[in-house]
Amino acid sequence: MLTVSVKWQKELFPKVEIDTSQPPYVFKCQLHGLTGVPPERQKIMVKGGLLKDDANWATLGVKEGQKLMMMGTADEIVKTPEKGPVFMEDLPEEEQMVAVGHTAGLFNLGNTCYMNSTVQCLHSVPELKSALVSYPSQKSSDLDHTSHMLTAATRELFNELDKSVKPVAPMQFWMVLRKKYPQFGQLHNGLYMQQDAEECWTQLLYTLSQSLGSPSFRYENPDTIKALFGIELVSRVHCQESSEESSETESVYSLKCHISQEVNHLHEGLKHGLKSELEKASPCLGRSAIYLKESRINALPRYLTVQFVRFFWKRESNQKAKILRKVDYPLQLDVYDFCSDDLCKKLEAPRQILRDEEGKKAGLKAKEKTSGSKDNDVKMTDVERPSNESGESSKPTSKEDKKSHLTGIYDLVAVLTHKGRSADSGHYVAWVKQESGKWIEFDDDNPVPQREEDITKLSGGGDWHMAYICMYKARTVPM
């Protein structure tokens, strides 16, 4: 530690201490406090020239009691505001929400991080919130009581999160979830057990699809959940032994990313997930045979959910073990290569429009429309209306308005991560992109802002948080 004096203009500051273990920038910050001159404007004369922010004190030869000269102009003195400062906690909660830039966290009620992270991810879907707002409080005759109660509890919990900046206790929602699905109420030594977040996600969406699709609930689209999250797969099932072949169609709420030694990226895992082997009876052979099932996407949702198949049942330990392998995933996902031929044709025109728009942004001239472009147009209805086509839009439109069309390109908007070695232990966290574009880590009742570049680092390879579920939002174009 050295003590020097500093002369600035007509003033002399004696006995200014220099901590030589710190870079000169720290010393400049001290002088800023004394003189009001910001570090970037300070010119301090030392042996060999001007003092640099990252210089080494040992090579500068500054001695005890030395007088240093500083030049630079101070900042203007800030005038006292006419109104006193208003503290965050004194603002109405609605204004606090705007100032903070994100919604509230959720208290952990005892190993309920799997539930909290699921709720935070789904809460980020505005179209789902709009559908729930219209859901009636009175149960319809064609719906079971617990499904109605869980849907109503979801609506109320979303509403609480939208209005509060303080953590919310999801007690009613948790109680109804356990009543509807008793497996989430399992106890061990008198304590509620950790559960699988993917199972919670799937069961909650299934319940909402039943409630919001109830015939007595006349929302704009009875297939709201299917339109938002449903993926239609068309599969070719082939037996090499007998040459039998058949096709089948199914609807799922997520694509599976299978993880093996060959999988390093989400794209590779999805490719593996769309192929599977199954054993079933062969009418031609009169016995069981192995069939190869190859699936393609035939209809896309507004929000595409991807599950990383990280857990498998380990007989030796009699529990779900975890695959820790690192699997990278992108901020922008293009699923065109996984689509059926019919869907690829429907996506061509919207994708060309998207390329033209991106070309304009990049300063390139958009391609001229061909005379046959109208024939390639794909009519895709709104989320709020029934649809048999491959895409939907999030906003209602009139007949005169252009429709929003899916392109097969999706942007990452939420990641649910798991930290630990088993699905039934460890800790779950939600990482959600806000409408402002900022990312928030929802670790139960503690929301923390995060940088976008750090979100794709949750790809695994160790004991840190790694992606278990990714949710992507469709990029659409008007046509």
Residues involved in catalysis:
113, 427
Closest CA to 70 of 2, 5, 3, 1: 5
Exposed e or buried b for every residue in 290-307, given b needs 16+ CB within 10 A? Answer: ebebebbbbbbbbbbbbb
CB 203 within 8 A of CB 154: no
Q: How far is CA 144 from CA 147, 149, 204, 319, in A?
A: 6, 9, 15, 33
CB 434 within 8 A of CB 101: yes
How far is residue 299's CA from residue 392's CA, in Å, rounded to a whole number? 10
**Rg, C-alpha atoms of the chain:** 30
- What DSSP letter does each residue of 143-198 carry, written as one string? S-HHHHHHHHHHHHHHHHHHH-SS-B--HHHHHHHHHH-GGGG-EETTEEPP--HH
CB 432 within 8 A of CB 125: no
Tell me if residue 14 falls in helix, strand or coil.
Answer: strand
How far is residue 125's CA from residue 414's CA, in Å, rounded to a whole number? 10
Tell me if residue 50 falls in helix, strand or coil.
Answer: strand
| Token pair 């039934």 in the structure block, residue | 424
| Token pair 């147009």 in the structure block, residue | 377
Torsion of CA 445, 450, 455, 459, to 10 degrees: -60
How far is residue 300's CA from residue 293's CA, in Å, rounded to a whole number? 20
Q: Which residues on neighbouring strands pair with residue 302, listed in sequence order?
A: none
Q: Work out the number of other CB atoms within 10 angstroms of the CB of residue 280.
A: 10
